[in-house]
Amino acid sequence: MLVMDFVVIGAGAIGGVVGGRLQQSGHAVSFVARGDHLRALQRSGLRLELPDATSTLDVEAVARVEELSWDAPRAVLLSVKSQDTEGLLDDLVRVASPDTPVFCLQNGVENERRVLRRFAGTYGVCVMCPATHLRPGVVQAHSAPIAGLFDLGRFPGGADETAALVAGALGDSGFESLVFGDIMRWKYAKLLSNLTNAVEALCGPAARGSDLAKAARQEGRDVLAGSGVAYVDDAEYRERRGDKISIAPTASGPWSGGSSWQSATRGAGSIEADYLNGEIVLLARLGGVPAPVNAFLQHRAGSLVRDGAAAGTFDPDKLLDEATSGTV
């Protein structure tokens, strides 16, 4: 196994789980975090919970990338929410070489474009990993024995040795990672799945199967098709996931909801809807067609976190009525 050095920017559910597992398998990992979570990592380490084991790791955690040494080559794993990407890239470009490989372990499809403006070695990563971060210093990985699928490839397309090396490191660390030359087809398929994140934040995880969620996804498919965007179809996406991902509780409890629900529950003050539902809205507006359901969800999810309202308290049927009647 080739040991690599990684900088994980964003040590929440995905970044914490991936970075923790990489460190456990012998890779050098530095974390960039913030707030109470950063202070907990510095004080007590990273508590990494798996369904069958719990470990506390002594980790290097800093508030800013400028606090790290960049003398040796490092791969950057960018795992912050999309709304936080730009500010972190402003910091990263000051200290990292322009040829530093940056891997976007993020939902949505806009981050890769933003990174490519700064770093030639930009990689998309399609993340399928049920993970939770609700308490400072604690991350939960709910799937075992494979903790998650992290398929990756160069952006805008292609594959290279760096992609293969990072995929190998992830594979040695309890994940499965394939290299795809058309990784953005997979990320657009994941985007369709993530259109229900706002539904989950507003109405609770049980609403993922609601008519509101189905309407958001169907509208997304229609907009992508009308825009000529290629994406992996539902059957291929389900086949890739197969029975590799299971969901089980860890020491702190069960998986309770996805990333947007967790953001709202933690009181994070921001949510990713502008880059999920908002991506569909953008494409629709560029094409001169409406996307009322996703526009409604984008607006209401943003209002939810700005107003500090409780997650999961809205009725999905009532919201669907509002969305389709033009009420915002």
Collapse the DSSP code of 90 into the 3-class scheme (helix H, G, I; strand E, B; otherwise coil) and give the result: helix
Joined together, the tokens standing for residue 303 give 């209002």
Q: Are 231 and 245 part of one and the same domain?
A: yes
Collapse the DSSP code of 142 into the 3-class scheme (helix H, G, I; strand E, B; otherwise coil) and give the result: coil
Q: What is the CATH number of the domain that holds 281?
A: 1.10.1040.10
Which domain, by its residues, includes 19?
A: 5-181
Q: Listing from the earlier edge strand, what are the strands of the sheet with 138-141?
A: 53-57, 46-50, 138-141, 131-132
Question: Which residue, of 181, 210, 239, is where some domain finishes?
Answer: 181
Q: Are 78 and 147 part of one and the same domain?
A: yes
Q: Are 164 and 110 part of one and the same domain?
A: yes
Joined together, the tokens standing for residue 294 give 């996703």
Query: Identity (one letter) of the amino acid at 55?
Result: S
Output the pTM of the full model.
Answer: 0.96
Q: For strand 5-9 and strand 53-57, is the pairing parallel, antiparallel, or unpaired?
A: unpaired
Q: Note the maximum CA span of the chain.
A: 57
- Residue 72: per-residue pLDDT: 85
For every one of its 328 residues, what pLDDT tens digit does the chain have, with 9 covering 90 and above?
566 899 999 999 999 999 999 999 999 999 999 999 999 999 999 999 999 999 999 999 999 999 999 988 899 999 999 999 999 999 999 999 999 999 999 999 999 999 999 999 999 999 999 999 999 999 999 999 999 999 999 999 999 999 999 999 999 999 999 999 999 999 999 999 999 999 999 999 999 999 999 999 999 999 999 999 999 999 999 999 989 999 999 999 999 899 999 999 998 889 999 999 999 999 999 999 999 999 999 999 999 999 999 999 999 999 999 999 975 5
Report the number of distinct structural domains present in the chain. Answer: 2
Question: Which residue, of 181, 213, 241, is where some domain finishes?
Answer: 181
Q: Are 177 and 191 part of one and the same domain?
A: no
Q: Are 174 and 248 part of one and the same domain?
A: no
Residues 285/207, Cβ–Cβ less than 8 Å: no
Q: Are 167 and 271 part of one and the same domain?
A: no
Give the Å distances, CA to CA, from 111 to 17, 96, 108, 177, 308: 20, 18, 7, 20, 26
Q: Are 108 and 218 part of one and the same domain?
A: no
CA–CA dist 290, 84 (Å, integer)? 28
Q: Are 171 and 216 part of one and the same domain?
A: no
Question: Which residue, of 181, 200, 225, is where some domain finishes?
Answer: 181
- Residue 4: per-residue pLDDT: 81
Q: Are 22 and 159 part of one and the same domain?
A: yes
What secondary structure letter does DSSP report for 207?
Answer: G
Q: Are 175 and 232 part of one and the same domain?
A: no
Q: Are 165 and 199 part of one and the same domain?
A: no
Q: Are 201 and 316 part of one and the same domain?
A: yes
Burial of residue 182 (CB within 10 Å: 0-12, 13-18, 19+) is: middle
Q: What is the CATH number of the domain that holds 151?
A: 3.40.50.720
